[in-house]
Structure formats: structure tokens, C-alpha cells
Amino acid sequence: MTGPLDRIRALPLRSRLALLVAVAVAVAVAVVAVACWFVTREQLENQRDATLRSAKVDNQYLADLYQHCTGISKQPTRPYTGFAVQLIDSQGTACTAPGTSALPVTEADLAVVNHEQSGALHSEADAHGTKMRVFTYWVTVTVSRGPAQPRAEIDLGVSIARPTNEINKPLSTLAWVLVLVSGIGVVGAGAAGLWVARSGLRPVDELTEAVEHVARTEDLTVRIPVEGEDEIARLSRSFNSMTASLATSRDRQAQLIADAGHELRTPLTSLRTNVELLARSDETGRAIPPDDRKALMSSVKAQMTELAALIGDLQELARPDAAQPGPLQVVALHDITRTALQRARLRGPELTVTADLAPWYVRAEPAALERAVVNVLDNAVKFSPPGGTIDVVLHRGELTVRDHGPGIPADELPHVFERFWRSPSARQLPGSGLGLSIVARTVQQSGGEITLRPAPGGGTEAWISLPGAPQPPPETPQG
């Protein structure tokens, strides 16, 4: 079974907001209405009690009422206007004015008659069951005991009373008015809350529609209009940034596939041509001259090597963790450079490679950093003339590799780290155009910088700067 909270959670967000506003307003209105009703009742009761305390019945009327109640005078006494009046003597005997129901005599009333207290205020029901608010006070009345007897002064208690429904009826009317106004307020608040929810959530609806459109059509050009600086505007701005980034990433991915296909086509075409020539020779029985066959085999071998290098570079770029570096370790940059130099000398035995390597320790992924240094040296070997010199210097974290080749034109320098970009003058040389882009990524992941610039006197100088220190950090003791 689902509870009320589960049913509320199942409602749309705008309905929940409208319900929340209506409940909040209902609670607030109820608190205000109840407080207003109690304050009004308190004020009316205090005003009624103050009126009773301040009211004083005329002594002549009291004397006439006493004489009428004791039989001294046969003339009927008129009703008293505004109050129900009742006299109480010291014996507790009550005498009620005409038109008034008798009120019970309480101990508080007797205490007033006996001068034990000045007044008594209480609520009682009269003989007809009407709830009355009663105030009793004592007074000295001069009365005549008979035609031949002198006048005398008598202490009497006087109870004046008014029905409590005098304020109960207005309070009841006020309660119904407050209930009606509260109901209208709650309904109005619910409608206003629903309108506010719809207006406030309109950008969310647009965002939802945009997300559904992207999921349905894979169209990443959708943008949501941004208005203001609130949370909804920030969400819309973030969505626009996300779709723009995804579109850029998809474009780069498509470009990478297109560039990879283009780069793979050339060696595959040459390899296919050479293999077909070798196969046709075997099929027709026409032997290829030994020198030509040797050249074909050398070409096939070179093309296979180029394909292997290209596929290796593509795998490096396509690794799931390529965007994030592996575990960084403290490595000796001078040792890595020295190892890379050995490989460079093997690839260019006719070249002279000079090295000046000062100790420098950096935090990097060892395999990726070694591959980056090897790529830089391979470029220097590739573009160096036969018998040329390559100068390698490592000083305080700055590694420079300088060749004496033809150099790179200034207008081509901004493109050297782009994927698959190759200088027009170097397209006849082996390579995939991915080496320097891999180097740039590795150096940046290690917190460093890399630049290619023209070298003084000709050639190109690769400059790599990596943060570190000339001494390795102390090892953390094992606990």
C-alpha cells in the first residue's frame, strides 16, 4: 500500500510546489485566524467585564426595588435598562427586578454582602438556563419601612448581569467569516502557487524538451535561451556548455576518424600495389629482377613499419585513460633522456648526438614520459641532414633538443602539435603526424610546457619544461 507521502512524491513537480504553497498559506492563515479570534474574544470579554464593573445602579431604583420585594410598597418596579438586576440581603435572600430571571447566590456574592470583599465577578446560569456574566457589589440603600416609620439605611448586595451570548454571537459570526476568508485565501494561494510553479518551471520544461530532443535526434546544436542569473539560468547555461562540448568532441572524433582513414590509405595503397606485383610475378611465372624484388621487399617492410607506428599512435590516443594520466611517480628525467638517446643513436648512426644532462627529478608516468622524449628525438633524427649534429641539453628542468635541419616555417609552427598535421615539405618522410600531439599531451599531464621554435643559425629547437627538483624527494617511511 502506498502512503500519503508516496502519493505526493508521485505528483508532478509543479503540483507538489502548488500543494506546498497552499499548505503553507493554509497553516499561516489558520494561525492568524485563530489568533485573531482569540484576541477578539479576549478584548470583548474584557470590555464587557469593564462595563459591568463600572456600571452603578441608581440608589433610588434599588430602594424602590427593595421596598417592592419586601412588600412595603405595592407599586411595581420598572425593569432596569441594559442589565439584569438582583438584590441580595445579608441572609442570602435574592430579589430580582421585573423581567429578569433569578440568578443563583454564590459564596462570592455573600462575601461581598458581608463586606469581606468589594466585588465579585463570575459567570452563572439564570433560572431559564441562560448563561450570564455577573458582577456583585455592595451598596448602602436608604429605604422606608412604612408610612409611620423613619427611613433606614440597609447594606445590600447588588448583582448586575448581562448574557454571555452578547459576545458569543459576534464571535461565532467572526469565526465563520474567518473560515470563509481563509478558504478563499487557500484556494487563491493554491492557484497562485500553481501559476508561479508553471512560470518558474518553464525553463525546466524547455530543458527537458531539449534533452529529449537530443536523446531522440542526437542533435547537439540545440541551445536553451538563458535569462537572468538565477539557478535555472545557471542550469541552462551549463546545459548549453555541455552540448557545445559534446558537439566539439564529436566533431573531433569524426575528424580523427577521417584523418586516420586518410593516413592509413596511403601506406595501405602502396602496400597493396607491391603485394599485387609480387603475387602477379608468382602467378605468371615471370620472375622479378633480384634488385627490383629486393626494393619491393624493402618498400613492403617500410610500409609495414609505418602502419605499425601509425596503429600504435592511434591506440595511444584511443586509450580509455588517455585523457587522464596514470599513477604519477618520481622519475629521473636525465635517466629517461639518456635511454632515449641510445635509441636515437641507433636510428641515426651517421649523426653526431651531443648530450649535457644535469640531474632532474619530476613526477610523471614513466612510460609515457619516455615515449614523449623518444618522439622528440625521432623528429630531430628524421629532419637532420646526413652527418648532422643533434644537441641535447637538460638544465634545471628545461630539456632542449636542437637539430640542424631545414627548420619549420614560422606560419607552420602553430600547427605542429595538431593531430595528423604534417608539414608539406615532410609528407614524403615516414610518420603519422601524431607524435608531437602525444608529446604535448604527456608534457601537459605532467604539469609542464613544450614549444618548437626556430634555432639560431638554422634548424629547429624543441623546448620542454617540467616542474621538479635536482634531488629526489625523501622516501616516505613505511608504517
Residues 25-58 have pLDDT tens digits of 888 888 888 898 899 888 888 988 888 888 888 8
Q: Which of 46-50, 65-69, 178-182 has the lowest mean pLDDT?
A: 65-69
Tell whether the model's pLDDT for residue 427 goes beyond 60. Answer: no
Phi-psi region of 411 (alpha: psi -120 to 50; beta: other; left: phi over 0): alpha
Report pTM: 0.43
pLDDT digits (tens, 9 = 90+) for 277-293: 878 877 787 778 888 77
Supply the pLDDT for residue 479. Answer: 36
Phi-psi region of 478 (alpha: psi -120 to 50; beta: other; left: phi over 0): beta
**Greater pLDDT, 331 or 258:** 331
51 located within any domain: no
138 and 87 together in one domain = yes
354 and 249 together in one domain = no
294 and 340 together in one domain = no
Tell whether the model's pLDDT for residue 140 goes beyond 80. Answer: yes
310 and 348 together in one domain = no
398 and 461 together in one domain = yes
| Domain closes at, from 110, 143, 164 | 164
**C-alpha span between 234 and 68 (Å, rounded):** 90
311 located within any domain: yes
CATH classification of the domain holding 405? 3.30.565.10
Q: Would you tell me how many other CB atoms lie within 10 Å of the CB of residue 119? A: 15
* Residue-wise DSSP of 146-171: -TTSPEEEEEEEEEEEEETHHHHHHH
Confidence bin at 357 (pLDDT 50/70/90): very high
**C-alpha span between 169 and 131 (Å, rounded):** 13
Q: Which of 11-20, 29-38, 136-145 has the lowest mean pLDDT?
A: 11-20
Mean pLDDT of the chain: 79
Q: Which of 62-66, 117-121, 201-205, 336-340 has the lowest mean pLDDT?
A: 201-205
pLDDT digits (tens, 9 = 90+) for 237-276: 888 888 888 887 777 677 667 666 655 676 677 778 878 8
370 and 272 together in one domain = no
447 located within any domain: yes
**Greater pLDDT, 361 or 64:** 361
Confidence bin at 321 (pLDDT 50/70/90): very low
What HEC string does the chain produce?
CCCHHHHHHCCCHHHHHHHHHHHHHHHHHHHHHHHHHHHHHHHHHHHHHHHHHHCCCCHHHHHHHHHHHHCCCCCCCCCCCCCEEEEECCCCCEEECCCCCCCCCCHHHHHHHCCCCCEEEEEEECCCCCEEEEEEEEEEEEEECCCCCCEEEEEEEEEEEEECHHHHHHHHHHHHHHHHHHHHHHHHHHHHHHHHHHHHCHHHHHHHHHHHHHHHHCCCCCCCCCCCCCHHHHHHHHHHHHHHHHHHHHHHHHHHHHHHHHHHHHHHHHHHHHHHHHHHHHHHCCCCCHHHHHHHHHHHHHHHHHHHHHHHHHHHHHCCCCCCCCCCEEEEHHHHHHHHHHHHHHHCCCCEEEEEECCCEEEECHHHHHHHHHHHHHHHHHHCCCCCEEEEEEECCEEEEECCCCCCCHHHHHHCCCCCCCCHHHCCCCCCCCHHHHHHHHHHHCCCEEEEEECCCCCEEEEEECCEECCCCCCCCCC
* Residue-wise DSSP of 364-394: E-HHHHHHHHHHHHHHHHHHSPTT-EEEEEE
288 and 371 together in one domain = no
φ/ψ (deg, to 5) at 85: -115, 140
The total number of residues shown for the chain amounts to 479
Tell whether the model's pLDDT for residue 476 goes beyond 50. Answer: no
Give percent above pLDDT 90 in the chain: 7
Place of cell 614549444: 451
374 and 450 together in one domain = yes
Supply the pLDDT for residue 359. Answer: 92
Q: Are strands 352-357 and 389-395 parallel, antiparallel or unpaired?
A: parallel
Q: Which of 117-126, 239-248, 298-307 has the lowest mean pLDDT?
A: 298-307
Distance of alpha carbon 185 from the chain centroid: 31
310 located within any domain: yes
Give percent above pLDDT 70 in the chain: 83
210 located within any domain: no
pLDDT digits (tens, 9 = 90+) for 361-375: 998 888 888 888 888
φ/ψ (deg, to 5) at 63: -65, -45
CB 206 within 8 A of CB 222: no
9 located within any domain: no
**Burial tier of 175 (Cβ tally within 10 Å: 0-12, 13-18, 19+):** middle
Supply the pLDDT for residue 381. Answer: 87
285 located within any domain: yes
Supply the pLDDT for residue 217. Answer: 79
**Greater pLDDT, 301 or 431:** 301
CATH classification of the domain holding 295? 1.10.287.130
Confidence bin at 356 (pLDDT 50/70/90): very high
Q: Which of 13-17, 28-32, 444-448 has the lowest mean pLDDT?
A: 13-17
**Greater pLDDT, 155 or 251:** 155
| Domain closes at, from 318, 337, 368 | 318
337 and 452 together in one domain = yes
Tell whether the model's pLDDT for residue 162 goes beyond 80. Answer: yes
440 and 392 together in one domain = yes
455 and 337 together in one domain = yes
How many structural domains are present in the chain?
Answer: 3
245 located within any domain: yes
Tell whether the model's pLDDT for residue 415 goes beyond 90. Answer: no
**Burial tier of 149 (Cβ tally within 10 Å: 0-12, 13-18, 19+):** exposed
314 and 336 together in one domain = no
For the residues 413-430, what does the mean pLDDT come to?
60
> What distances in angstroms separate CA 278 from CA 284, 288, 438, one per listed residue?
10, 8, 36
| Domain closes at, from 275, 297, 318 | 318
Residue span of the structural domain in which 399 resides: 329-469
Tell whether the model's pLDDT for residue 418 goes beyond 80. Answer: no
